[in-house]
Amino acid sequence: MMSLEKYQFSSSQCPVGQDCISIGGTSRCADPCQHYSVLNDAWSATNYRGIGNCDKDINFRGWYRMFLGDTSVQMPERCVQKHTCGTNSPMWLTDPHPQLSDRVVQRGVCGSYDSCCQYKQTPIHVKACYRYYYVYKFVSPTYCTFAYCADVNTMVCATCGSDQTCVSEDKINWRCERKAPELVCGRSLLQVGLSRAHLEAAGINATTAHLADRRCSAHEDRNGMVWYQVKRREGHCGNTVKTNGTHAVYSNSIFVYPVDAQNDFPLSFPFSCIYPLEIESSLDVPIRPHLPTDNAVVAVGAKARASMFLYRNSNYTEPYPAGQAVTLLVGSTLHVGLSVDESDPELFVDDCFTTGAPSPDNLLRYYIIQDSCPSNRTHVTVEESASSLQARFSALLYGGYRYVFLHCRLSLCNHRSSSCSPVCSRRRSRSVAKSNDLQLLPHPSTPLSSHWALSLPRSPFLPAQPMVMQGHQITFCYY
């Protein structure tokens, strides 16, 4: 049988957080956290296996605080197995316990059996009290062999200090966790924020705090936090400063007092802000060195030397030997590599074109690359240009000439002073000096050693006859 004190009630309207409670035979509005009865039955623990106890016949009046032995506990906030808490159907809270600022709240109650909430019970009222305990306004359950449970796992909460709170992620394993103040280390101010709800739950008044110097007690309420601040200056409000050669450490403490006793020993929260002593700064103004050129001695250097090679494969690893005849089929792919004997700028392919005569000045041309862009993206691929002292491209070999001569115009580009990458947006096409059709031009019987020449069959149907490519070194029109 539960031991409890019975109260007589009268109906009256009480302030928020209070209830009509019989005190000394007189009913009046009072705080349930200060006027409650004790429920202390070992069989009500969640780890007690047994049946038969029933709260249906208890005439609950007033508010109750639950104990197991000498330790304050609370109702479980989770499903409890049947045949525990000394009864057939143990009762538990379906919602979390309130915060201190919530005052008196209503919470649902369920009785477990074959399912967690097989028997839904009448809701009860609950209030959170200072120093982390709860009081309950129980009501008798609907049926017998129902009893309110006391969660044995929450016994650890009674050991939490004033600067700690009792927390659990799974509502089974509880622990005490210290809630440190929030700290903002600013350039000119150190700011400390105290959680009003957390401190009040521990019986601490967040607005009574002061720094090491008791005169520094000004504060500001923002979003449930009480903020105190101190200037970043040694000696201000009791600040101390220590340095170790690389950092400066500003330290102070904030002292907070219990709700009901300003003169009691305060709760102390020491804090420190660490600032590096080594700093960096950069001038946000670029400086461009200028060498005067007026009246300077000027000379013209030699033109860079460039080379062109035709390769057997797309890896550009096997060049055709110079001075030997090369036979290629119409429609095969030319793999052309270029390089320049320079040390600094990038090689930039401006134009590459074929003619039917050795001279690059021939006005009748077929452009492969024009203005640094492929004339036909389907048939021409620029694989490297304007990124190093080498350039590579591939193109399909077409007929139209008895011999084909390949010429390229190159440029050197300094990417540090200008953009070397071309913008290719439109398709390039055949370029001729006049609007007349392209005619086949004869090739001299002995090709020049400074030109690449490709011989094509004269048939307009281009039968599968080999194309002959002969020569030693490519002629470059270098600008």
Residues 6+ apart with CB under 8 A from 141: 54, 55, 56, 91, 111, 121, 122, 147
State the distance between the two ends of the chain, measured CA to CA, in whole angstroms: 110
Banded model confidence at residue 467, pLDDT cuts 50, 70, 90: very low
Query: Model confidence over 153-180: pLDDT tens digits?
Result: 999 998 887 777 888 899 999 998 877 7
Banded model confidence at residue 426, pLDDT cuts 50, 70, 90: low
* CATH number for the domain whose boundaries are 182-276: 2.60.40.3210
Most confident stretch, 116-120, 355-359, 403-407, 417-421: 116-120
Question: In the prediction, which pLDDT does 430 show?
Answer: 41
List the structure tokens of 159: 């050991």
Average the pLDDT over 317-326 and give the result.
80
Q: HSE of 189 in the Cβ direction (CA atoms, 13 Å)?
A: 8
Average the pLDDT over 341-359 and give the result.
83
Domain borders along the chain are 19-167, 182-276, 306-470
Do the Cβ atoms of 155 and 68 come closer than 8 Å? Answer: yes
Global pTM value: 0.48
Q: Which amino acid is at 168?
A: S
Q: Which amino acid is at 293?
A: T
- Say which CATH superfamily domain 306-470 falls into: Zona pellucida, ZP-C domain (2.60.40.4100)
- Is it the case that residue 359 has pLDDT exceeding 80? yes
* Angle 222-264-221 from CA coordinates, rounded to 5°: 5
Per-residue b or e along 414-449, where b marks 16 or more CB atoms closer than 10 Å to that residue's CB: eeeeeebebeeeeebeeeeeeeeeeeeeebeeebbe
| Alpha-carbon span 465 to 461, nearest angstrom | 11
- Is it the case that residue 390 has pLDDT exceeding 70? yes
**Continuous segment of H or E residues that includes residue 201:** helix 196-201
182-276 and 306-470 have identical folds: yes
Return the closest-CA partner of residue 288 out of 382, 479, 154, 416: 416
Per-residue b or e along 93-126, where b marks 16 or more CB atoms closer than 10 Å to that residue's CB: bbeebbebeeebbebebbbbbeeeeebebeebbb
Banded model confidence at residue 12, pLDDT cuts 50, 70, 90: low
- Is it the case that residue 11 has pLDDT exceeding 60? no
What is the radius of gyration, based on Cα positions, of the chain? Answer: 47
| Alpha-carbon span 208 to 124, nearest angstrom | 34
Question: In the prediction, which pLDDT does 95 show?
Answer: 94
